[in-house]
Chain A
Amino acid sequence: MSMKLLPGAATVLSLLLAAQPLSAHHAFAAEFDVDKPVKVNGTVTKIEFVNPHAWLYVDVKDPDGKLTNWRFELGAPNALIRLGWKMDTVKAGTDVEITGFRAKAGGPVGNGRSIKLPDGRELFSGGSAPTADR
């Protein structure tokens, strides 16, 4: 029996199947505040595949219209690639909803735990957030 997957479903499946246990590059709890979860909706301005962590930059508009450029830590580039991410998985100009935790030092900075895309897909980013089986 042959099986066909919708392109979107195939992408999500590949992200899941390619996943590997992500023991974090460093301790999450030392850098991000678990008492300060954050959720923002905004537009991606750029993604940097730099070591030791990739960063996603998002323009977020506050209620009075002022734009703030947030940055969110993702996994290391090699971890993201092994997870199935590609350089263009999240393009500049894409509207996203990002959930994560704010940096201990404050500012518009956080750990990007998950990223919702306009088509409903939710991407996990690795980063320094732990997995349930640790």
Chain B
Amino acid sequence: MSFTFRSSDIRMRLSNSTLVLLLIASAASMARAQSIARLPDGQPNMQGMYTRSGVKALEAEPPFNPIDPGEKNPLSVSNREDGLGPYPRIFGQGGNVLRGAQQRSQRRVGIIFPENRKLPWRPEEDAKRRQFLLDMNPARDLRHVELNSRCALPGLFEGEDGNNPYTILQPPGKVVILYDYNHTSRVVDLSRKEHLGTKIRLFMGDSIGHWEGNMLVIDTANFNGRVAYSREIPYLSEDLHTVERFTVVDENTIDYEVTIDDPKLFTGPWKVAGYFSKAAKGVESLEFACAEGSQTLQNIFGIPPTH
């Protein structure tokens, strides 16, 4: 016996064995979803320490980036062949110490919409962005020094994935995300339905959320226009609006998806996927005070600029 499904452009035949496998996979997925523990206030329990992976927005037609550490940048040490180039590969192979067990190949990562990874930049804004990057090395002024070097809050996306874990807490009616990086925190209100007044502008934005089954949906607005998405997208406007979806897959894994809507810079929304993986046993959140001892601006400009 076989089953035939017809859609507008797809005809698919499923044999008995395929159908059985599908049913088993579906049942396993449902069982996993049902097995996720609930907290007293009804939230699916996603508390714990995680690392985040895959949320880089690697564009199909990336700009030239003079602060990129990679080989395409002649200003990077990566091109040196005199022994002073990048650290040996083995130096970067202990990541499992910090990372959890989740494998990247099993999850969706990077730009997922548009599928061709060409972000819908307004042409004039893309040109401005590309010029802005050129002015970052040598840095034209303080504004052209990346957020990390200024010890500014990173916004939603510049959390140095791989180096610094995230801790998720769920007090009643809220979700709190603590970044190891630079003592950043987000408090997501699950009861509020509307954002703060438009005059209140924040580096991390104003986040309100709700649960749809095992998926936490966080809507964030009221950004201050000073945050970056990445080194290649060095700023976003104050009109940025994001919708993040955290899907609790199992006790060790959260799938992540974010929709970026910034009509000042883009003609339409775009989406990036990634995932949170429970950090390895024994990983602790460590102090990352940034501003106290930073000498970066002194090393770039000589005398810290006053603007």
B146/A26 in contact, CB under 8 A: yes
B66/A25 in contact, CB under 8 A: no
Give every chain A residue within 8 A of B296 (Cβ-Cβ). Answer: 26, 31, 52-53
Alpha-carbon distance A34/B75, docked complex (angstroms): 7
A30/B288 in contact, CB under 8 A: no
B27 within 8 A of A: no
CB distance from A87 to the nearest CB of B (A): 14
Give every chain A residue within 8 A of B81 (Cβ-Cβ). Answer: none
Alpha-carbon distance A107/B301, docked complex (angstroms): 12
Which of A17, A52, A81, A109 contacts B290 (CB under 8 A)? A52
B163 within 8 A of A: yes
- Bitwise, A97-134 to B at CB < 8 A (1) or not (0) is 00101011111010001000000000010000111111
Chain B residues packing against A (C-beta within 8 Å): 66-70, 73, 75-78, 80, 82, 84-95, 97-98, 136-139, 145-146, 148-149, 151, 160-164, 180, 182, 231, 286-290, 292-296, 298-302
Which of A21, A28, A134 contacts B163 (CB under 8 A)? A21
Alpha-carbon distance A26/B69, docked complex (angstroms): 10
B302/A52 in contact, CB under 8 A: no
Give every chain A residue within 8 A of B90 (Cβ-Cβ). Answer: 16, 19
When A and B form their complex, what is the total count of cross-chain residue pairs whose Cβ atoms lie within 8 Å? 174
Give every chain B residue within 8 A of A104 (Cβ-Cβ). Answer: 138, 299-300
A23 within 8 A of B: yes
Residue on A with the closest CB to B162? A21
Give every chain A residue within 8 A of B91 (Cβ-Cβ). Answer: 16, 19, 22, 124, 131-132
Give every chain A residue within 8 A of B66 (Cβ-Cβ). Answer: 29
CB distance from A105 to the nearest CB of B (A): 4
A22/B290 in contact, CB under 8 A: no
Give every chain A residue within 8 A of B75 (Cβ-Cβ). Answer: 29, 34
B302/A30 in contact, CB under 8 A: no
Say what secondary structure dominates the interface of chain B.
Answer: loop
Which of B88, B145, B286 contacts A81 (CB under 8 A)? B286
Cβ < 8 Å to B, chain A residues 53-102? 53, 55, 73, 76-79, 81-82, 99, 101
Give every chain B residue within 8 A of A37 (Cβ-Cβ). Answer: 82, 84
Given contacts A17-B94, A104-B300, 13 further A-B contacts (CB under 8 A): A16-B91, A18-B94, A27-B67, A27-B69, A28-B76, A29-B69, A30-B300, A53-B295, A78-B164, A78-B286, A105-B299, A109-B295, A131-B88
Chain A residues packing against B (C-beta within 8 Å): 16-32, 34, 37, 48, 50-53, 55, 73, 76-79, 81-82, 99, 101, 103-107, 109, 113, 124, 129-134
Alpha-carbon distance A29/B139, docked complex (angstroms): 10
Q: A16-B90, A51-B287, A78-B287 are in contact. Are A26 and B148 (CB under 8 A)?
A: yes
B299/A31 in contact, CB under 8 A: yes
Alpha-carbon distance A28/B68, docked complex (angstroms): 8
B289/A51 in contact, CB under 8 A: yes
Between A and B, 19 residue pairs with Cβ closer than 8 Å are: A17-B94, A20-B95, A21-B163, A22-B91, A28-B67, A28-B76, A29-B75, A34-B77, A48-B293, A51-B294, A78-B180, A79-B163, A82-B98, A103-B299, A104-B300, A124-B87, A132-B87, A133-B92, A134-B69
